[in-house]
């Protein structure tokens, strides 16, 4: 089995989280350390953001903001990136 390389990211190292419209791909960036209002529609194409995902996104950003402001020396919160997400793309086959 080959050695595994893990990429760990501390939440406090994240500057922002990006929300991208699936219809037109316009993007919004939200700072992790601040409470924000989640838009109900895309600012570019006006596609409405609906469903439970909107509330889940708000809850997630609120939780991140609370964590970023907390000072607990007893533990650290880190995110582990999937090895496939940060691996180099496969090389095309070489020609003979």
Give per-residue pLDDT as tens, 11-61.
777 788 888 999 999 998 888 777 778 888 999 999 998 888 888 888 888
Q: What is the DSSP letter of 87?
A: S
**By residue range, what is the domain housing residue 66?**
7-86
In a domain, 57, yes or no: yes
**pLDDT (tens digit per residue) in 68-89:** 778 777 887 888 887 665 455 5
Higher pLDDT, 66 or 45: 45
Q: Is residue 25 in some structural domain?
A: yes
Q: What pLDDT does 4 receive?
A: 66
Residues 76 and 10: beta-carbon distance below 8 Å: yes
Instruction: Say how far apart CA 87 and CA 82 lie, in whole Å.
Output: 9
Report the domain count for the chain.
1
Residue with tokens 């090389």: 91
**Residue of higher predicted confidence among 10 and 85:** 10
Handedness of CA 48, 53, 56, 61 (dihedral sign): negative
- Report the chain's terminal Cα–Cα distance, integer Å: 29
Per-residue pLDDT, 27: 93
């Amino acid at each position: 089995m080959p050695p595994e390389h893990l990429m760990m990211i501390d939440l406090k190292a994240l500057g922002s989280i990006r929300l991208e419209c699936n219809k037109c791909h316009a993007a919004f960036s939200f700072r992790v350390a601040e409470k924000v209002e989640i838009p109900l529609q895309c600012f570019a194409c006006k596609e409405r953001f609906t469903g439970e995902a909107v509330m889940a996104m708000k809850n997630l950003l609120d939780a991140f903001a609370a964590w970023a402001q907390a000072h607990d020396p007893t533990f650290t919160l880190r995110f582990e990136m999937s090895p496939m997400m940060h691996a180099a793309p496969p090389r095309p086959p070489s020609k003979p």
